[in-house]
A = this chain, B = another copy of it.
Amino acid sequence: MQTELRGPTAVVTIGPDLPTVMIGERINPTGRKVFSAELQAGDLSRIPRDVQAQVMAGAGVLDVNVGAAGVDEVKWLPEAVKLVQETADVPVCIDSPNPQALAAALKVTQGRALVNSVNGEEARLSSVLPVVAEHGAAVIALCMDDDGIPTTPEDRLRVAEKILERAAKLGIGVESLVFDPLVLTIGSDHRAGLVTLETARLLREKLGCNMTVGASNSSHGMPNRELLNTVFLAQLITVGVNAPICNPVKNALAVRAADLMLGRDEWAMTYIQAYRTLSSMQEAAT
C-alpha cells in the first residue's frame, strides 16, 4: 500500500516499512502572530525561509495553510502553493477548511498534492471528496464525523471505513487516503495517547493504510513537551504512522532515530546525515 505524492519533479512515496515521510507544519499562521499579520497584509515573504529550513531538515512534504482571520484563502492559498513550489521541488499538503480554496490551490499545484483534509462529516464528504477526485489528489482523512471524535479505537475505525466507502464511490482508493487516528490533549484525558496508538494499530491491521498525525497536539500544558513529543512520535511510528505532521527542524532527528531502530535506514546513513545537518542548523541559529 503506497501513496505517491509528487512535486514539480520530485516523487515522495509513503508506505509501510519505508522511511517515515515528514509533513512540515510550519507554513501555518496558527499560533504565529507575525506570520498572521504578514498574511493579512498580503505579504508571503516569510514562506521561502520556512520552505528552505523544513526541506533542509528533511521534510518530504510541506503543509501550506494561510488561514488567518480576514485572509481570503481562495486568493492566497494558490499564491502560497505556487511560491512554495517555486522555492523547492516538493509535494504540497494543501490545508484549508474551505473547499473553494482547496480547488483553487489544486489548480496551480505542480505534481500530486495531499489535501488536508476530509473527515466523516456529511458536509465535508460531499464538498471535499469531489475536489480531490477531480484533481487526482490524495487526501488526509480524519477519524471523526458529525458526532465528534469517537472515544474508542473501534469507533474511529468505523469512521475511517465510512470515509473509505464514500471515497471509493468517486474512484478514490485506500492508497489515496492518509488516515489520521487523531490525538487529543493528554492533559485533559490520560488515555488520549493510548487511544491514538491503539487506533493506529487497528487501522494498519484492518485497512493496511498509511497514516498521519499531529503528534505535538497531545502535549499541551505538560512540562518538557519536547521530550513528550519525541517519545510519542517514536511510539506512533512504531505502530504504523508513517507521515506525521510535525516541525522537522525540531522533530527530524527523533523521526530518523525511530526509523533507524525499525531497520529502515541502512548503515544509519539518513540518521547520521540528519544529525549533521540539524547540528549545523542549530549552530547557525545560535
Contact = CB atoms under 8 A, between A and B. Distances in A.
B230 A267 contact: no
Contacts of A234: 230-232, 234-235, 238
The number of chain A residues touching the other chain, given as a range, is: 35 or more
A190 B257 contact: no
A193 B235 contact: no
A231 B218 contact: no
Given A271-B222, A275-B223, A186 B261 contact: yes
Interface in A245-272: 253-254, 257-258, 260-263, 265-268, 271-272
A41 to B, nearest CB: 39
A263 B191 contact: yes
Nearest to A257: B231
A257 B228 contact: yes
Interface string A91-124: 0000000000000000000000000000000000
Nearest to A237: B235
Given A186-B261, A239-B238, A254 B227 contact: yes
Contact of A253 (B227, B263, B265): B227
Contacts of A267: 190
Contacts of A253: 224, 227
